[in-house]
Amino acid sequence: MSAEIIDGKAFAADLRARVADYAATFAQAAGRKAGLAVVLVGEDPASKVYVASKGRATIECGMASFEHKLPADTAQEALIALIDQLNADPLVDGILVQLPLPGHLDEQAVVARIDPDKDVDGLTPISTGRLALGQPGLVPCTPLGSLMLLKDRLGSLSGLDAVVIGRSILVGKPMAQLLLAENCTVTIAHSRTRDLPAVVRRADIVVAAVGRPEMIKGSWLKPGCTVIDVGINRLPPEDGQTKGRLVGDVDFAEAVQVAAAVTPVPGGVGPMTIAVLLRNTVVAAHCNAGVALAAGAL
Ligand code: NDP
């Protein structure tokens, strides 16, 4: 048996094209472009790359990108003042603070300051609460992108057994909430879970968000299950290479022998994250400007 490889890259490209259509309609109706502000504090090389690619993708979708780059020694008060300014700016529909912040800053307080209606990362306590209560709101991008891939492949998820491995605020917990809202029977596994292989083996849907290379083996999977691999791990370089290979949390070569469908790494969940960020921004823009969102698939 060889599983279907879920093409997150193609799905994300389609989603971005749909977002661009919605952004164009919004610009006509509102008389301005939807806008995303990204705040970067410090010089972390990976964060700089992420911020640059988010900015590029925003512009490609026909939205305005506002980048705020602050020095690594920025004081908490100055960062909070910037968030307040962006909260009040009518041209800004979404605010994303690139994490992690330098150690002297109180990350939770900064995120909590973001207006929940502009919280395109879905990480404020209000957004988290809305998700838990089943109220409309903005949802973290990676889990929402993972859910989109699942629904695209499986249709209704109602009644399916889902195991989410990982309980982070960013991925595991919101993923579990989203699956619960789709009427899955959800188990959240973590580092203290006993007999993880047995827990995983009963799942129709496995979402791995652990950060450990190829930890989940083919023998742990129920035949015919669907596997969403959120993990992004770089292996040590092999002979003659400067960079190691990127792998997920699932042993892909083994999983394709057992599962019905698997996301690859790279090219699975990864590309969905920015596409959903753009989706969240255009949705927030409609809500914030009081422009009705046209019916359709976003
Ligand atoms: P965190 O480190 O915040 O959380 C990891 C989770 O895995 C924790 O809940 C931890 O349990 C659990 N865990 C660790 N070891 C084990 C183990 N041996 N058995 C079972 N559970 C374990 O990571 P994130 O959620 O932020 O990210 C997870 C992965 O997803 C990473 O590889 C990250 O790079 C990737 N990622 C990918 C994104 C994308 O765009 N595709 C976006 C975000 C993340 P405990 O709580 O008990 O410590």
Name the residue of 47, 171, 173 whose CB sits within 8 Å of the most ligand 1 atoms, as the mutation to test its pocket.
Answer: 171
Answer yes or no: CATH 3.40.50.720 is held by domain 27-132+272-289. no
Q: Which residues are catalytic?
A: 54, 98, 121
- Give the span between the Cα atoms of 211 and 293, in whole angstroms: 36
* pLDDT per position as a tens digit, 256-268: 999 999 999 999 9
pLDDT given at position 166: 98
Give kind and range of the element (H or E) at residue 185. strand 185-189
Residues within a 6 A CB radius of ligand 1: 142, 165-168, 170-172, 189-193, 196, 209-212, 230-233, 269-270, 273
Shared fold status for 27-132+272-289 and 141-269 = yes
Question: Ligand 1 centroid to 84 CA: how many Å?
Answer: 31
- What does the DSSP 8-state code read for residue 216? B
Q: What angle do CA 70, 280, 102 make, to 5 degrees?
A: 25
* pLDDT per position as a tens digit, 38-86: 999 999 999 999 999 999 999 999 999 999 999 999 999 999 999 999 9
Question: Ligand 1 centroid to 249 CA: how many Å?
Answer: 9
pLDDT given at position 85: 98
Beta partners for residue 228, in sequence order: 207
Beta partners for residue 229, in sequence order: 208
Question: Ligand 1 centroid to 26 CA: how many Å?
Answer: 36
Give the confidence band of 239 by pLDDT, cuts at 50, 70, 90.
Answer: confident
pTM of the model: 0.97
> What token pair was written down for 7?
């093409």
- Give the span between the Cα atoms of 106 and 104, in whole angstroms: 7
Task: Take atom 31 of ligand 1 and give the residue whose Cα is closest.
Answer: 211
pLDDT given at position 265: 98
Question: Ligand 1 centroid to 210 CA: how many Å?
Answer: 3
pLDDT given at position 296: 75
- Give the span between the Cα atoms of 263 and 267, in whole angstroms: 8
- Give the span between the Cα atoms of 202 and 220, in whole angstroms: 9
pLDDT given at position 148: 98
Residue bearing the bigger pLDDT, 100 or 240: 100
Give the confidence band of 19 by pLDDT, cuts at 50, 70, 90.
Answer: very high
Give kind and range of the element (H or E) at residue 247. strand 246-247
Task: Take atom 13 of ligand 1 and give the residue whose Cα is closest.
Answer: 191
Mean pLDDT of the chain: 97
- Give the span between the Cα atoms of 286 and 291, in whole angstroms: 5
Highest CATH level, class, for 141-269: alpha beta
* pLDDT per position as a tens digit, 110-149: 999 999 999 999 999 999 999 999 999 999 999 999 999 9
Task: Take atom 48 of ligand 1 and give the residue whose Cα is closest.
Answer: 191
For the chain, give every domain's residue range. 27-132+272-289, 141-269
